[in-house]
Structure 1
Amino acid sequence: MHWISTKEASPETLELVLIFDESEGQFVGHLDQSKKYWQMYGTNSQHFNVTHWMPLPPNPPKTSERLLDDFKKELHNAVVGSTIKVTNVVPEMVVDKLVREKARALKCGVKFEKISQEYIIGFVEE
């Protein structure tokens, strides 16, 4: 990521970006709909001396706990005929135990594949 001069380009209107104002320094904000001024996020403060901006960085990667929670939510909503993908950051023995419990509850079979960095789990009729 690099700073982009406001003379070269502007972000989409109302897109949150990192902004550099000559007198105020760095802050998160957006270009107003009128494209006449920049507004600091969460305030009514208007800035007219913005010289540079850059996109915000992506969110940090999910932790294995969050991935497991997401997997459990998907698993809860699974039905016969559905397929779930889960990253192999979640331990295989945990995935296997939870999937088998769900298959017993659904009274169905399981198709389990490991491809690259994820498990693909299908719930199939027996």
Structure 2
Amino acid sequence: MDAQNFTWIPVGTTIPEDLIDVLLFDEKDGQWIGYYFRDTGHFIRAVDGAILKNISHWMPLPANPR
């Protein structure tokens, strides 16, 4: 069985790749699936396209089941 390391990554350390869905932690609104949009420098909530302004951490989503 493959084990994945699910560790929160501070946005001050690194940001996710452009336009790739990740799990985001917003200090005001909790956890969301979203992505980073490099052209604007914003984190975007995937469900409705809202800009998330209080993102402190992120982590990759797990791999799809086999």
Output the TM-score relative to the length of structure 2.
0.84
Q: Which residue is equivalent to 2:13?
A: 8
Q: Which structure dedicates a bigger proportion of its chain to helix?
A: 1
2:49 is aligned, of 28, 44, 53, to 44
Q: Which residue is equivalent to 2:3?
A: none
Deviation at 1:60, TM superposition (A): 1.4
Output the TM-score relative to the length of structure 1.
0.46
Deviation at 1:42, TM superposition (A): 2.9
* Structure 1 residue ranges (4+ consecutive) displaced by more than 6 angstroms after TM superposition: none
Distance 1:46 1:3, change over 3 A: same
Q: Give unpaired runs (5+ residues) of structure 2.
A: 1-5
Identity %: 36
Larger gyration radius, structure 1 or structure 2: 1
CA deviations over 1:68-114 (Å, ceiling 9, x no partner): xxxxxxxxxxxxxxxxxxxxxxxxxxxxxxxxxxxxxxxxxxxxxxx
Q: Do 1:13 and 1:35's aligned partners in 2 also have CA atoms closer than 8 Å?
A: no
Q: Which structure dedicates a bigger proportion of its chain to strand?
A: 2
Instruction: Count matched residues.
Output: 61
Q: Secondary structure at the match of 2:58?
A: strand
Amino acid at match of 1:18: L
CA deviations over 1:18-41 (Å, ceiling 9, x no partner): 000001100100011325211001
Q: Do 1:29 and 1:40's aligned partners in 2 also have CA atoms closer than 8 Å?
A: yes
- The RMSD of aligned alpha carbons is 1.1
Write the mapping of 1:1-126 to structure 2, written as runs, cut at 5 A. 1-61=6-66
Alpha-carbon separation, structure 2, partners of 1:52 and 1:16: 14
Amino acid at match of 2:47: G
